[in-house]
Amino acid sequence: QGFKVKLNIVYQDNTSVIKLEQNGKMSSGKRTRHFDIKLFYVTDLIDQNEVVIKYCPTDDMITDYNTKPVVGNKFRKFRNEIMNLKATHHHFGQQECVGQHI
């Protein structure tokens, strides 16, 4: 459609999943050996430099606002970020991790 994507970044808050995504079957243990090889599609994308996996702490995952019941300060923090309610505006490029600014 004419829009060129420079880099696809996937933010993950689970370090075990990051290792599985980056290393594929090589980092599978007792509980993950049964995973079918087709589930390691992301590993292929990483190897082809089409996707980058980065760690994002759970408290900074803005997608939790849409997928989990968040309350209190965390709710207000994500609501303000999504709706640009704060006086200071942050530029979020192509990311979903609130704690890391591009």
5 neighbors 48 (Cβ within 8 angstroms):
no
Prediction pTM value: 0.62
Q: What is the DSSP string of 74-87?
A: HHHHHHHHHHT-SS
- From 97, 100, 5, 102, select the one nearest 50 (Cα to Cα): 5
What are the tens digits of pLDDT across the range 12-60? 888 888 888 887 767 666 666 666 666 678 888 888 888 899 998 888 8
69: Cβ contacts below 8 Å, ≥ 6 apart: none
Distances (CA, A) of 34 to 19, 24, 37, 46: 16, 13, 9, 22
